[in-house]
Amino acid sequence: MPDPLTTHGELDEALTLAVDAARAYLAGLDERPLHDGDPDRAAARLRTPLPEDGDGAPAALRALVEDGLDGSVASAGPRCFHFVTGGVTPAALAADWLASTLDQNTAAWVESPLGAELERLALDWLTDLFRLPGDWGGVLTTGATMANFVGLAAARTWWGDRHGVDVAEQGLAGLPPVPVLTSGHLHSSAAKALGMLGIGRANVHRLACDAVGTLDSDALVRALAALDGAPAILVANAGEVNAGHFDPIAEMADLAERHGSWLHVDGAFGLFARTAPAAAAHAEGIERAQSVISDGHKWLNVPYDCGFAFVRDRSLLPRVFGATAAYLPPVDFERPNFAYLGPEGSRRARSLAVWATLRAYGRNGVRAMVERHLALAQRIADRVDQAPDLERLADVPLNIVCFRYRPPNIGEDALDDLNASLGEAVLADGRVFVGTTLYGGRVAFRPAIVNWRTREQDVDLLVDVIRELGARLNPA
Ligand SMILES: Cc1ncc(COP(=O)(O)O)c(C=O)c1O
């Protein structure tokens, strides 16, 4: 009867199986289709009853490699333009393997001085990379959803203080609704975070002046004036998911300062605009916010899951996330216990991958990748503009191109259904992966480019596949 102690001699074989499978997978990843066409087959092969007696680590690994890998999506590859899906740099991948090997818990400094010091250093480097003030606090999270949660939790604490209430201690009962003001670009994860924080999704005022969500600046001015000095939380969106639009962040920073409001910026991928001079103007003013967030597993290309939250006043974080018990260490910013700065207690050492990729490629490596992606997005836009059967729906400020299939022989009223069916056909085809959205009420494709592996031939294939399958669905 195998148990890990009696069979721990199998470790070497299990690791060798994993390394060999990883090498083979990664060697073919650039050309690999996104899926094998039958998402249920691998699951069916793996679905067995719980073994009474296992058959050991090598057999388990062999089953995973032989029966399981086909069920994965090649989302780490260069042709995944769906959602906003980053890949994994070689440095980040290898460091992440070590993070699992060392199995560090970066809750308390004492449990992993390595993980904590690298988290502090990685956050310092990131504030430098994003040109944020060096004295801000920060924490790594599981992604932008939880980073939004952290930034908005700090905002809630500040807002409670303005009403004389420590919300983390006493709750929100008896307080007025928290006014949250933003544009129509607000990401669903920020609304989710506001729900989790008890602020409530319904208290979000989306002030948009058009169907695509552009901020109605006059409405924002009026809403702030109507508050008559009462504190509000402004959420600015740096890079929204449909077309990569930015809110006018500097203008929102002016208003926040004038009205004594909190400015939170969701830059899940848009914060990276600050690494590339050609795009940086969109993200000016972010340095004046009170809280700013971004993702690691998107444009930094570290493995899932990883996000970052930065807060101007770091002392707010332990007031929400601190925990006390006789066996726990106290809050300490010199030897940080990161469990007190974010929602999780025990936490994976995701700092190793973040640090390793920044150490390996540096500021210029990140900038080169971002600039390459900006150029690839323009290449898609050019090809869309030249194609008689494609229509671009938005400018391309960053790395997302919003367009639809529009053959000349079809009327406006049939286009949404055609593009929705085409979207399904593209996903089923599997040569490229790209999602559809509603842009100003119209069904559209929205490829997002954030993977370091993506090359010109990959974005060309994306356009070719959409046109080929479109013509098949709608013969002339
Ligand atoms: C602007 C924005 N904010 C937040 C998120 C949520 O990110 P995550 O999935 O890492 O939690 C996303 C994800 O696409 C996003 O684009």
Mean pLDDT for 401-416 is 97
Measured in residues, the chain has a length of: 476
CA of 239 to the centre of ligand 1 (A): 10
CA angle at 283 for the pair 371 and 222, rounded to the nearest 5°: 155
Domain definitions of the chain by residue range? 8-73, 93-360, 362-473
Ligand 1, CB within 6 Å, residue ranges: 83-84, 143-145, 187, 189, 239, 241, 266, 268-269, 295, 307
What pLDDT is stored for residue 180 in this prediction? Answer: 98
Residue percentage of the chain with pLDDT more than 70: 100
Distance of CA 395 to the CA centre of its chain: 22
Among 114-118, 241-245, 296-300, 332-336, whose mean pLDDT is lowest? 332-336
d(CA 443, CA 414): 11
Contacting residues for 58 by C-beta, under 8 A, at least 6 apart: 10, 13, 14, 17
| Nearest-atom index, ligand 1, CA of 297 | 10
CA distance to 15, 25, 31, per residue, from 28 (Å): 20, 5, 6
What are the C-alpha distances in Å from 178 to residues 141, 204, 230, 234, 321? 24, 9, 10, 11, 20
Task: Specify the ligand 1 atom closest to the Cα of 146.
Answer: 11
Return the ligand 1 atom nearest residue 237 CA.
1
Q: Is the predicted pLDDT of residue 2 greater than 90, yes or no? A: no
pLDDT over 90 (residue 24): yes
Q: Could you name the CATH architecture of 362-473?
A: Alpha-Beta Complex (3.90)
Burial class (CB in 10 A: 0-12, 13-18, 19+), 36: middle
**Dist. CA 335 → ligand 1 center (Å):** 30
Q: How far is CA 243 from CA 84, 263, 430, in A?
A: 11, 23, 23
For position 422, what pLDDT does the model report?
Answer: 98
Cβ(251)–Cβ(199) below 8 Å = no
Amino acid of residue 360: A
Residue 446: φ, ψ to 5° = -145, 60
Q: Among 75, 146, 189, 449, name the best residue to mutate to test ligand 1's pocket (greatest count of ligand atoms within 8 A of Cβ).
A: 189
294 Cα–ligand 1 center, Å? 8
Ligand 1 center from residue 259 Cα (angstroms): 28
What pLDDT score does 476 carry? 81
CB 99 within 8 A of CB 350: yes
Beta strands 442-445 and 204-206 are unpaired
Helical (H) or strand (E) element with 437:
strand 436-439
Does the pLDDT at position 98 exceed 80? yes
Residue 351 is predicted with a pLDDT of: 98
Task: Round the average pLDDT of the chain to a whole number and report it.
Answer: 97
How many other CB atoms sit within 10 Å of the CB of residue 360? 14
Distance 319 CA to ligand 1 centre (A): 25
Mutate which of 150, 187, 235 for ligand 1 pocket (most atoms within 8 A of beta carbon): 187
Architecture of domain 93-360: 3-Layer(aba) Sandwich (3.40)
Distance in angstroms (rounded) separating the CA atoms of residues 404 and 411: 13
* pLDDT for the residue 425: 98
pLDDT tens digits, one per residue of 133-189: 999 999 999 999 999 999 999 999 999 999 999 999 999 999 999 999 999 999 999
> In the 3-class helix/strand/coil scheme, how is 57-78 assigned residue by residue?
HHHHHHHHHHHHHHHCCCCCCC
* 8 against 84, higher pLDDT: 84
pLDDT band of residue 89 (cuts 50, 70, 90) is: very high
**Residue 286 CA: distances (Å) to CA of 236, 264, 282:** 9, 9, 10
Instruction: Look at residue 180 and give its three-state secondary structure.
Output: strand
Which pLDDT belongs to residue 1? 77
Given a cut of 80, whether residue 114 has pLDDT beyond it is yes
What does pTM read for this prediction?
A: 0.98
pLDDT tier for residue 37 given thresholds of 50, 70 and 90: confident
Q: How many angstroms is it from 453 CA to the middle of ligand 1?
A: 21
Can you tell me the mean pLDDT for 407-429? 97
Going from the Cα of 306 to the center of ligand 1, the distance in angstroms, rounded, reads 11
Summarize the confidence of residues 204-215 as an average pLDDT: 98
Distance (angstroms) between ligand 1 centre and the Cα of 276 equals 21
Q: What is the dihedral of CA 358, 363, 365, 369, to 10 degrees?
A: 100
What number does the ligand 1 atom closest to the CA of 307 have?
A: 10
Identify which of 145, 237, 240, 249 to mutate to test ligand 1's pocket (most ligand atoms within 8 A of the CB).
145
Give pLDDT tens digits for 363-389: 999 999 999 999 999 999 999 999 999
Domain 93-360 identical in fold to domain 362-473: no
Give the atom of ligand 1 at the shortest distance from the alpha carbon of 267.
Answer: 1
